[in-house]
């Protein structure tokens, strides 16, 4: 894929960049000319592969491991990323965990784990990044939510609640940080084919994914990455506090009847 200069010289941190959507976002930012720090929790191999691809393209990249369930680790991650990059222009809050479980079966531990990673880590990574983003002239924060934050599906009470919280946080930060010259937007993916699907969804196939998305194909991480690049770029300089759904039209469907399987 061709590289361009949309984000030439920009400095980016992507959380949860060891696999799936986060890895796709990091590589998209690198293709657009940014230097990138790829955070990972456990997926070291994927993060290093992504960093190597960015370096081969002539940009700087490195990986940092951190457990973002701990606030001190959120702060350490941002500090180490800024130390490597020499500043920060772009923060992509992508790190997250998924839980599919009936409401009555959710434990206190389940609840805490999902909120710690999906919402609390976003909050404190953002808080830690703001002074660095403010110091430069292109501050942009992109928060990864989900269409589960806007719609309902059985078994997603905790996960959906965190993703709705991400959207509220995005709007509030957009208002508070606008005077500092920092834009804050959200991306809400729908069905985006990632390796986890094949591990945790025995029925999943590309053909099935294509069949349930109105546009006729499953989404891919680079679909999300392209939108993140746009939101981080000067082309989106008058956009803040918004959510862009990247779902092939899934969230527009009127769910009066069961979808075809």
Q: Which residues are catalytic?
A: 145-146, 159, 163
DSSP secondary structure, 84-117, as one string: HHTS-SEEEE---------GGG--HHHHHHHHII
CA angle 230, 11, 55 (to 5 degrees): 95
Q: Which two tokens stand for residue 237?
A: 């300089």
Burial 108-140 (b: 16+ CB within 10 A, else e): eeeeeebbbbbbbbbbbbbebbbebbeeeebbb
| CA atoms of 58 and 35, how far apart (whole Å) | 9
Which residue in 47, 56, 4 sits closest to 25, CA to CA? 47
């Amino acid at each position: 894929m061709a590289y361009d200069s949309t984000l030439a010289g920009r400095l980016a941190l992507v959380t949860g960049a060891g696999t799936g959507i986060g890895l796709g976002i990091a590589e998209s930012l690198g293709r657009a000319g940014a230097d990138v720090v790829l955070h990972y929790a456990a997926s070291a191999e994927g993060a290093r592969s992504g960093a190597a691809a960015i370096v081969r393209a002539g940009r700087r990249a490195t990986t940092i491991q951190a457990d973002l369930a701990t606030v001190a680790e959120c702060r350490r991650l941002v500090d180490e990323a800024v130390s490597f990059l020499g500043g920060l222009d772009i923060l992509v809050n992508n790190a997250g965990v998924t839980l599919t479980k009936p409401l009555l079966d959710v434990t206190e531990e389940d609840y805490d784990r999902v909120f710690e990673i999906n919402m609390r880590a976003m909050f404190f990574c953002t808080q830690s990044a703001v002074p660095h983003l403010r110091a430069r002239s292109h501050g942009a924060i992109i928060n990864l939510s989900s269409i589960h934050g806007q719609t309902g599906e059985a078994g997603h009470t905790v996960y959906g609640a965190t993703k709705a919280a991400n959207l509220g946080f995005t709007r509030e930060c957009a208002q508070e940080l606008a005077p500092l010259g920092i834009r804050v937007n959200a991306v809400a993916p729908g069905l985006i084919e990632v390796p986890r699907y094949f591990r945790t969804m025995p029925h999943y196939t590309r053909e099935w994914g294509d069949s349930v998305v109105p546009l006729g194909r499953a989404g891919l991480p680079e679909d999300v990455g392209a939108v993140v690049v746009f939101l981080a770029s000067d082309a989106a300089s008058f956009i803040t506090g918004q959510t862009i759904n990247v779902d092939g039209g899934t969230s527009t469907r009127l769910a009066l009847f069961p979808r075809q399987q």
